[in-house]
């Protein structure tokens, strides 16, 4: 072998050995450092244990000893709710009063910032000269009746969790009901979720029994000028309006709602909106009716106001009917002797029209009864005419 190559090989061998020795030395030094640190920590721990005379040994269950305990908590990194902020927000929930009068009464609504009645709290109001009144059923509405017609001041008293108005509301109590729509009637309207519909909705009772035996239950023969129509309510269930249209029905009188027989609440028929939409989609003209159980003028205005509120978004081309179904029996009204003939009925109507100071309204209960007399009158008239020409 050439002496030059031999010399390079020897030097390379020494260099490799040197690198191996240096690496071993470095690794040994690192290990000694770690051992020294553990020894120092052991001394420190021993010193701490020596200074804690009441603790004989390390207790892993003691809070604060296990510094990695948070790793075992699945909810540790979840954001906590600021309950203090939420409570403060509840305390700052602003309330307002809506106060109206229909006839010798005050109707107070405790509403939130969205104008909705606030339920679930027995609010107290103070009425000038009358004292305090509580929302006993906690529906956000307080009614005070039998009042003198004058101006009153109404104040909502402080309530936990709410910010009440800092001023009183003035209201003038009306002496007599006005025949105009009540603007805030929506607070008096209920749904069947709010009531016992089985007890409240008795509007179908007289209709099913056909108390006066004058109800038309079968399709009548019609002329070219006649138009066929139906009346519908929740009692009819689902209505296939396209099929109704195909059967030649031109109009529908849809029940908008009723007054409850027990509570006297005004209730929207649960099928009203569905039936109105269905009739509109089938291009069937619409009218509406309301089953009344009003016992005075105030309740009559309430019912009319509710119907106006329900139909305002629909195109109504047929009349709005008030359905009594024998319900006038409990009305506090003057009653006239029942006419036996069409001529007697016409004479009675003319007499009422001539004395508006005595009677402003005339109710025929029911229209089917009057219609039957009209049919008899017409048939007898034409029958007698035919006899004269024979």
Q: Are the C-beta atoms of residues 254 and 272 closer than 8 Å to each other?
A: yes
Kindly report the backbone phi and psi dihedral angles of residue 170, in degrees, each rounded to the nearest multiple of 5, phi listed first: -95, 140
- The pLDDT of 185-189, averaged and rounded, is 84
* Biggest CA pair distance of the chain: 162
- Provide the residue ranges of all domains of the chain, joining segments of one domain with +: 90-176, 187-213+227-333, 334-390
- Cis amide leading into 243 (omega within 30): no
CATH number of 187-213+227-333, picked from 3.40.50.1220, 3.40.1390.10, 3.40.50.880, 3.20.20.80: 3.20.20.80
pLDDT score for 149: 95
Residues above pLDDT 70, as percent of the chain = 68
pLDDT in tens, 29-43: 666 555 555 555 555
Query: What's the rounded Cα separation, in Å, for the pair 320 and 291?
Result: 11
Question: Contact 302/332 with Cβ under 8 angstroms?
Answer: no
Q: How does residue 331 score in pLDDT terms, banded at 50, 70 and 90? A: low
Residue 225's SS3 state is: coil
Nearest alpha-carbon partner for 329 in 231, 212, 233, 215: 212
* pLDDT surpasses 70 at 78: no
As its CATH architecture, domain 90-176 has Sandwich (2.60)
> Distance (Å, rounded) from C-alpha 273 to C-alpha 243?
19
CA dist., res. 255 & res. 321, Å (int) = 9
Is pLDDT at 272 greater than 60 in this prediction? yes
Q: pLDDT per residue over 112-121, tens digit each?
A: 988 888 999 9
Contact 110, 156 (CB under 8 A): yes
- Give the pLDDT confidence score for residue 80 in this predicted structure: 61
């Amino acid at each position: 072998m050439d002496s030059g190559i031999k010399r390079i090989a020897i030097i390379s061998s020494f260099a490799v050995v040197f690198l191996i020795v240096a690496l071993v030395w470095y690794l040994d030094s690192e290990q000694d450092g770690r051992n020294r640190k553990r020894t120092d920590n052991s001394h420190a721990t021993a010193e701490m244990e020596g200074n804690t005379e009441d603790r004989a040994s390390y207790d892993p269950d003691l809070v604060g000893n296990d510094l990695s305990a948070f790793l075992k908590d699945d909810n540790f990194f979840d954001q906590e709710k600021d309950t203090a902020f939420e409570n403060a927000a509840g305390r700052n929930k602003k309330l307002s009063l809506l106060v109206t009068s229909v006839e010798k009464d005050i109707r107070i609504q405790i509403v939130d910032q969205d104008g909705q009645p606030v339920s679930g709290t027995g609010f107290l109001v103070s009425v000038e000269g009358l004292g305090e009144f509580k929302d006993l059923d906690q529906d956000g509405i307080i009614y005070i009746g039998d009042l003198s017609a004058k101006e009153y001041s109404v104040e909502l008293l402080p309530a936990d969790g709410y910010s009440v108005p800092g001023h009183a509301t003035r209201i003038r109590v009306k002496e007599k009901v006005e025949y105009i729509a009540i603007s805030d009637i929506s607070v008096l309207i209920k749904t069947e979720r709010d009531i016992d519909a089985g007890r409240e909705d008795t509007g179908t009772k007289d209709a099913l029994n056909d108390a006066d035996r004058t109800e038309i239950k079968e399709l009548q023969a019609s002329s070219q000028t006649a138009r066929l129509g139906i009346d519908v309510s929740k009692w009819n269930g689902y209505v296939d309006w396209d099929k109704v249209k195909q059967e030649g029905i031109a109009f529908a009188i849809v029940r908008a709602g009723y007054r409850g027989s027990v509570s006297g609440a005004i209730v929207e028929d649960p099928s009203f909106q569905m039936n109105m939409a269905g009739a509109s989609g089938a291009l069937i003209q619409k009218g509406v009716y309301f089953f009344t159980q009003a016992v005075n003028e105030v309740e009559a205005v309430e019912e009319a106001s509710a119907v106006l509120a329900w139909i305002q978004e629909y195109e109504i081309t047929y009349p709005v009917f008030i359905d009594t179904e024998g319900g006038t029996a409990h009305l506090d009204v003057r009653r006239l002797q029942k006419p036996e003939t069409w001529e007697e009925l016409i004479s009675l109507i003319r007499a009422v029209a001539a004395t508006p100071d005595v009677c402003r309204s005339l109710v025929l209960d029911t229209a089917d009864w009057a219609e039957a007399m009209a049919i008899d009158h017409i048939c007898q008239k034409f029958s007698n005419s035919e006899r004269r020409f024979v």
